[in-house]
Structure 1
Amino acid sequence: MTDTQQPPAGGKKAAPRKRAPRSRKAAAAPATDLATVSSHTAEAAAAQVAVTVPATPPALIRVPLSVRWRDLDAFNHVNNSKFLSYLEEARLRWMVTLPGHGMDEHVAPVVAAAHLNYRRPIEWPNELDIELFVERLGNTSLSIGHRIIGATDTSAVYCDGNVVLVWIHRETGQPAALPEPVRAACTA
């Protein structure tokens, strides 16, 4: 502390600050010429293994939807909760194609989990496609993968993830075996 500085309240001196040691490695690094850098870059590029993005499995259904003005939030894009509504609409449209709609008077599906990766905002006006596909088929549950994409630009992925449906006995709430029409539709 200098003579002109006052000690902090309570009369105690502040602890001196420690400086981080300087790295000498950066200063001592040898200079390389452009030819050497280019050579190493080419070798590294040749040694890289190609990474492939797994293809989306065959779709259970592809549902076209129009973005509605009422779906927008204060930021002028589709509210995150509406993404779940879009996915619900697609699941229901798929289920009505099944005999008995995938349920009966004794068993019905419930949503056990939902996972959404919000990739980019959806603006209005916009036309979307919601794709559903089987990720995992269990004894009492089904994991349905989903993608919300642009109807005219399928490279525009707005959302992906999955929803887990569990079939339960309506009276007891206990897990029930997947109905045969659901299993058949998922393995076709």
Structure 2
Amino acid sequence: MSVRWRDLDAFNHVNNSKYLSYLEEARLHWMLSVPGQGLDEHVAPVVAAANLNYRRPIEWPAQVAIELFVDRLGNSSVSIGHRIVDAADDSVLYCDGNVVMVWIDRGNGRAAPLPEAVREACSQH
């Protein structure tokens, strides 16, 4: 992913809020690879928690790689670990942490069982 000039803050490095945007983009690309994308008229995923450890600033220009992996698979949730690294040198760590996604019943807003397609996709990674 290319770092954009508009992602920078007054200190000339990527604003902390943009890290969340980068992670969201990576999760969306992953979700597009899941049959049915884990949502339908009955269930949908929501972000329940986000943990980001900012390890070093990202300066412009830069190319970053977003690494996603399954930390924990639950009955209605998945904890997706992440790392943002330099695209040319993955030993340069900008951020790590995880995001917890919970599938909810669209009708009542309560946790719903993790869709089988999502469970299967998580088991492959």
TM-score scaled by length of structure 2: 0.98
Q: Does 1:108 align with 2:44?
A: yes
The 4+ residue runs of structure 1 with deviation greater than 6 A are none
Where does the alignment leave 5 or more consecutive residues of structure 1 unmatched?
Answer: 1-64
- Provide the secondary structure at the position in 2 that maps to 1:143: strand
Amino acid at match of 1:112: A
- Which residue of structure 1 aligns with residue 121 of structure 2? 185
How many Å apart are 1:102 and its aligned residue? 1.3
How many Å apart are 1:111 and its aligned residue? 0.3
- Counting only pairs closer than 5 Å after superposition, residues 58-97 of structure 1 correspond to structure 2 as 65-97=1-33
Identify, as 1 or 2, the structure richer in strand. Answer: 2
State the aligned residue count.
124
Where does the alignment leave 5 or more consecutive residues of structure 2 unmatched?
Answer: none
Q: Distance in 2 between matches of 1:165 and 1:183?
A: 12
Q: Does 1:99 align with 2:35?
A: yes
Amino acid at match of 1:139: N
How many Å apart are 1:161 and its aligned residue? 0.1
Q: Does 1:143 align with 2:79?
A: yes
How many Å apart are 1:97 and its aligned residue? 0.5
Amino acid at match of 2:20: L
How many Å apart are 1:173 and its aligned residue? 0.3
- Counting only pairs closer than 5 Å after superposition, residues 1-188 of structure 1 correspond to structure 2 as 65-188=1-124
Percent of residue pairs bearing the same amino acid type: 73
How many Å apart are 1:101 and its aligned residue? 1.0
- Provide the secondary structure at the position in 2 that maps to 1:66: coil
Amino acid at match of 1:85: S
